[in-house]
Amino acid sequence: MNYPLHMAIIPDGCRRWSSEKGSLPWDGHLKGIEVMETVSKWLLSETPVKHLTAYGLSASNLRRPSVQLKALEKLYVKYFTKLSKDEDIHENQVRVGIIGSRDLVPEKVLKATDIAVEATADYDSKFFRVALAYSGRQEIVDAAKKSEGNLSVESISRNLYSDYPDVDLIFRTSECRLSDFMLWGSSYSELYFLDKYWPDVTIDDIKTALEDYDSRQRRHGK
């Protein structure tokens, strides 16, 4: 079976999941994080997928009500603290990384992410990146600034937030759009949209997406 080298996930629909169940918005995010733990653990330990990137929080998400952002802050602190000690992460030598505008990420979350990053810094078997306060457009702008006038495909690629390969497969739930995610690295990505809220996603859904990816002929414009 042909697996993607780099898979990216847009886990959409957590708030709508909560709304339809009559629960608080952050209940959906809590369930969403639990699903991400399950999915990422399976992908990084049971498949050849080497790079996994998850859309945690977009820059535009920061305009949400402060009470929701505070709840998310607590959830992410707990998540990254747990991630830094996760046995599967260490057993599979998964390097954790964060991409996005660090200056927009709450200090408590940054401290927790830095601990996870430092705890896995020596690993290079697998790579798990979480996008926080992230904008694909801003990433390209920032890379162009770092290129110092030497604008080329190669220079932009070298100066992205992280040294990751182009995305082979983007898996998104609930809606059918990229939402400013991985714009530079998705030029030839295969897109898989699932009409389901992220908290309802199962490993079988991921397996189906991977089987669909395997069935496609990738020509890269040729």
Is 64 one of the annotated binding-site residues? yes
What is the distance between the alpha carbons of residues 154 and 199, in angstroms, rounded to a whole number?
38
Is 90 one of the annotated binding-site residues? no
Is 205 one of the annotated binding-site residues? no
Is residue 12 part of the annotated active site? The answer reads yes
DSSP string, the chain: ----SEEEEE---HHHHHHHHT--HHHHHHHHHHHHHHHHHHHHHHS---EEEEEEEETGGGGS-HHHHHHHHHHHHHHHHHHHH-HHHHHTTEEEEEES-GGGS-HHHHHHHHHHHHHTTT--SEEEEEEEEE-HHHHHHHHHHHTTT--SHHHHHHTSSS--PPPSEEEEESSSS--S-STGGGTT-EEEEESS-GGG--HHHHHHHHHHHHHS---TT-
Is 218 one of the annotated binding-site residues? no
Is 30 one of the annotated binding-site residues? no
Amino acid at 46: E
Is 177 one of the annotated binding-site residues? yes
- Of 12, 86, 168, 205, which is the active-site residue? 12
- Of 2, 27, 61, 142, which is the active-site residue? 61
Closest CA to 141 of 104, 180, 195: 180
Is 215 one of the annotated binding-site residues? no
> Who contacts 48 (Cβ-Cβ below 8 Å, separation ≥6)?
3
Binding-site annotation: residue ranges for substrate: 17, 29, 64, 172, 177-179
Which residues are annotated as catalytic? 12, 61
Binding-site annotation: residue ranges for Mg(2+): 12, 190
Binding-site annotation: residue ranges: 12, 17, 29, 64, 172, 177-179, 190
